[in-house]
Amino acid sequence: MHNDIQEILISREQIQEKVAELGQRLSKDYEGRNPLVICILKGAFIFMADLVKEITVPLELDFMAVSSYGASTKSSGVVKIIKDLDNSVEGRDVLIVEDIIDSGLTLSYLIDVLQRRNAKSTTVVTLFDKPARRTVDLEADLTGFVLPDEFVVGYGLDYAEKYRNLPYVGVLKPEIYTN
């Protein structure tokens, strides 16, 4: 285990099993359709890569980078689009792939943007959810794991851009935080 990690909450094996399950479920849900799968960078990059390998329907990928946390464990409340999609979502069945829903601010902003751009449908799959921290009324269509109210890192999730490469999800030792 990494020296800065206090506790592993979800192991590599648990994640692998869950991602396969979510992929099978989405393959059924999208049968006969051709979804546009959108990765919300940076956090969702590992989940996206693992998930699409488990989806059997034809699909297209696009990427959008947004940020509201910066080098903090609290959302700034302001969601910034850092990189927009390359292609139009008009008339498309859009599957938004998120790593985590915390306050819900990032997703509520994104769903609004995609609906205003006339997506045919917007579906959200998130690997992790922290419902206790929600400040807006929002739920994913599919959720991997529900987490306690703790700031977590690993499997794409960062603290000040670090720890994204850890293959599990864990809690940092308190002395690592500067805020």
Q: Which of 48, 100, 110, 111 binds ligand HPA (CB under 6 A)?
A: 100
Question: Which is nearest to 33 in space by CA: 85, 92, 96, 88?
Answer: 92
Q: Which of 102, 105, 140, 143 binds ligand HPA (CB under 6 A)?
A: 102
- Binding string to ligand PRP for residues 41 to 70, with x set by CB under 6 A, is what? -xx-----------------------xxx-
* Tally of CB atoms within 10 A around 100: 24
The listed partner (ligand PRP, ligand HPA, Mg ion, none) that binds 151, CB under 5 to 8 Å by sort, is ligand HPA
Least distance from ligand PRP to the Cβ atom of residue 155, Å: 11
Phi, psi of 12 (to 5 degrees): -55, -45
- From the candidates 50, 93, 99, 102, give the one annotated as an active-site residue: 102
The listed partner (Mg ion, ligand HPA, ligand PRP, none) that binds 105, CB under 5 to 8 Å by sort, is ligand PRP
CA distance linking residue 70 with residue 49, whole number of Å = 23
Spatial strand order in the sheet of 121-129: 80-83, 60-67, 36-41, 93-101, 121-129, 142-146
- Residues with catalytic function: 102
Q: Which residues bind Mg ion (CB under 5 A)?
A: 69, 158
